[in-house]
Amino acid sequence: MAIALHLPVTYQMGAVPSISLLLAIFVGGITGGCISAILLRIPGTPNSVATIKDGYATTRNGQAARALGLAITASVFGTIFSGVILIAFAPMLSSFALRFHFPEYVAAFLFALTAVPAVSGENLLKGMIAALIGTLAATAGISTIDGLPRFDFGSAEMLSGFPLVPALVGLFAVSQVMRDALGGGSGPEVPRQRIGWRATLPPFGKLLRHLPNATRSAAIETTVGILPAVGGGPAGLIAYAQARDASR
């Protein structure tokens, strides 16, 4: 939405400043999604779904500033990492993406599903059921392959399928609000915390300790993000699964 609103501003700008502005808005919006994920257990973007698991738990422990600082600095590192890769290999990556056809899309879909067991933990059955429901919901609307309508039930509104952002709001935001309302304040109380920009800056030693994890996650997300039709959501889940397996 912010990119759409700023498009008229770029009409009188050069190519480099206008693309830089729109890219900065996009990166800022994606990064900002971690704030609500960490503080409220509501992902601001699909990319922040993996941030909920440990981010909100850290807030519950009274360390919201620490979680926000690590999330933001990791996002800055990942942005620089992927930006360098894009600048260096953009022609190669574009030709690679154009070679994607039906078999590659199926393989990418199955590859994204490999993150489900990793993030489900002990609730593997629930995770697989949720993945199957999500897969079924994703088939509604006009097929991008052959242009035929699927599972629209004769409704014109269903031709566009289930938009991702409203689906995320319904799955996470509404459920969290209802959980808090029905709990009547009886749940674990979140400690009152003062969060300033100085409190969110991680110590330099801690950043060095997390550097291998940040590098591995950035490489995974950049590689997965290059694949057409996969996107940042599955990439974040796959990187989180690998980080959890590698952590002591």
Residue 28's Cβ-side half-sphere holds a number of Cα atoms within 13 Å equal to: 9
Helix (H, G, I), strand (E, B) or coil at 142: strand
Total domains present in the chain: 1
pLDDT given at position 184: 55
Domain that holds residue 89: 2-246
Question: Cβ-count burial of 78 within 10 angstroms (0-12 exposed, 13-18 middle, 19+ buried)?
Answer: buried
Q: Which long-range contacts (CB under 8 A, 24 or more apart) does 80-88 make?
A: 81/215, 81/218, 81/219, 81/222, 82/218, 82/221, 82/222, 82/225, 85/222
Whole-number Å distance between alpha carbons of 12 and 149: 40
Query: Would you write out the chain's pLDDT as a tens digit for each of its 248 residues?
Result: 888 898 898 988 888 999 999 989 998 988 888 898 898 888 888 788 888 888 888 888 888 888 888 888 889 999 999 889 888 888 887 787 777 777 877 887 777 777 777 667 677 888 888 888 888 888 888 877 777 888 888 788 788 888 777 777 777 777 777 877 777 554 555 656 666 666 677 788 888 888 888 999 999 888 887 776 667 777 888 888 888 888 87
pLDDT given at position 186: 47
What one-character DSSP code corresponds to residue 226?
H
